Amino acid sequence: MATFEVLTSSNVIGPPSGGGGGDTIYTGDGSLAGARVVDLDGNVLSFQQGGNNLLELDPVGFTSTLTATDATAQSLVRVVGDLSGNNVSFEINSNDGTNEVSIAGDGQAQTLSYTADTHNFTGGGLWDLDGNTLQIQQGGNNFLELNPTAGEEIARLQVNNLTGDGNQAYFSAFTTNTDATATIGVSLGFETESYITAFADATTSTIQYTADSHTFNGNVGVGVAPGNLFEVTNGAGGYNLQIDNTQFASSIESYNGTAQSYLRLRSDLGTNAVIFNLSTYDGTNQVNIYGDAVAQTITLTAVHFNYAGLQDFASNAAAISGGLVEGDLYYTRTVDEAIVKIVVTPA
C-alpha cells in the first residue's frame, strides 16, 4: 500500500522543474513521480479548462468543488467544512441551463433539501426516524407528519387551504399506551367541521360521526352480529335507535333527559319474551300499551281513555246488523251514561 510522506523541504511541491524528482508531481511520461503532498499554503488551487473550473480547492473558505461544465450545462459537487463561518454543508447539483436537480445538506441546521420535478426510489428502502418527527410542509403548514414519540405516536396526512380561509381536510392516526384513534375530517374556516372518528381503548370500541347532515347513496346495510349492540344516541343520556342482539330486541326512543317516548320490540323465545311496548312519559305521568304474545295479553296504562269514533248501537244485534263482528267494540247510550260493549256472536 502506498503511503504519503510527511512534508519536508524535499517533498513539498514547488515550482515545476520538469523531468520528475522531488519538486514535480508527474514525470515527463505522465507517471506519478512518487508519493507527494501538496501544501496550498493558504492559496486556492484550481484545475481549469477554457476558464471553467474543473476542480477547486479553497483552504481559506474550507471548500472543495468538483465541476463538469460546458457552455450552458453544469454539474458539481461541493463540500464545505467551515465551523468558524457556521457553514458545514454539501451540495450535489446538475443544471442544463433551464432545469435543475440538487441535493443539499446542512450539518449545523440538520436539514436535507431536494430539488427535482420527479423523485424515483428504486429497490427496497428503509427510513429510520430514530425517535425524530418527520414533517413535509408548505408555507409552514404540514401536509405529512410522522411522530414516533413513544406512547404518543402520530401519523397525520392533511391538506390546508393557503389563501387564509383556514379550510382543511385530514386523516390522522394517534396511539397512546392505552388507546388508539383514527380520524377522517374536514373543516371550513375552523367554524364548521365534519369528521368521522373510530376510537378504541381498553374497555370500549366506538365510531363517532359529526356533521350537520348525513347522506347515504345506494343501499346501506348495518349488520349487527349476535351478542352485539348497535345504538344511535342523542347525547342526553338516552338513545334514538337501539338494536340489541344480546336480547333480540329493537327500540326507537325520543328522550330529552326527563321526558321520554319509545317503542320497544323483543322476540326472545328462549326467555318467553315476545313483546311490544309503546310508552310515553313526561317525568311524572305515563301512558303505556304493553303486548305479550306468549301470555296473549294487552295491558293499557292511562288515567283517561278516549275512544274517539266508537260507534253507537242500541244492542248487540244492532251492532251486528251495522257490520260489526265478534270482538269489535261499540257503545250503547243511556240517559245517564254510555256503556262500551263487545260484539259477541249469538249462541
Of the pLDDT bands very low, low, confident and very high (cuts 50, 70, 90), residue 150 is confident
Which of 69, 33, 64 minimizes the C-alpha distance to 49? 69
Of the pLDDT bands very low, low, confident and very high (cuts 50, 70, 90), residue 24 is low
Check residue 49 and give its pLDDT. Answer: 84
Check residue 84 and give its pLDDT. Answer: 79
Q: Residue 254 is placed in which grid cell?
A: 325520543
- How is residue 12 annotated by DSSP? B
Residue 33 has pLDDT above 70, yes or no: no
Of the pLDDT bands very low, low, confident and very high (cuts 50, 70, 90), residue 332 is very high
pLDDT in tens, 195-251: 666 666 556 677 777 777 777 777 777 777 777 777 777 666 666 888 888 788 888
Which of 169, 117, 118, 122 minimizes the C-alpha distance to 142? 169
Residue 318 main-chain phi, psi, to 5 deg: -65, -35
Return the HEC string of 26-84.
Answer: ECCCCCECCCCECCCCCCCEEEEECCEEEEEEECCCCEEEEEEECCCCEEEEEEEEECC
Residue 10 has pLDDT above 50, yes or no: no
Of the pLDDT bands very low, low, confident and very high (cuts 50, 70, 90), residue 7 is very low
Sequence-ordered list of residues with C-beta below 8 angstroms from that of 9, at least 6 positions apart, any chain: none
Residue 41 has pLDDT above 50, yes or no: yes
d(CA 275, CA 289): 11
What is the arithmetic mean of pLDDT over 27-51?
77
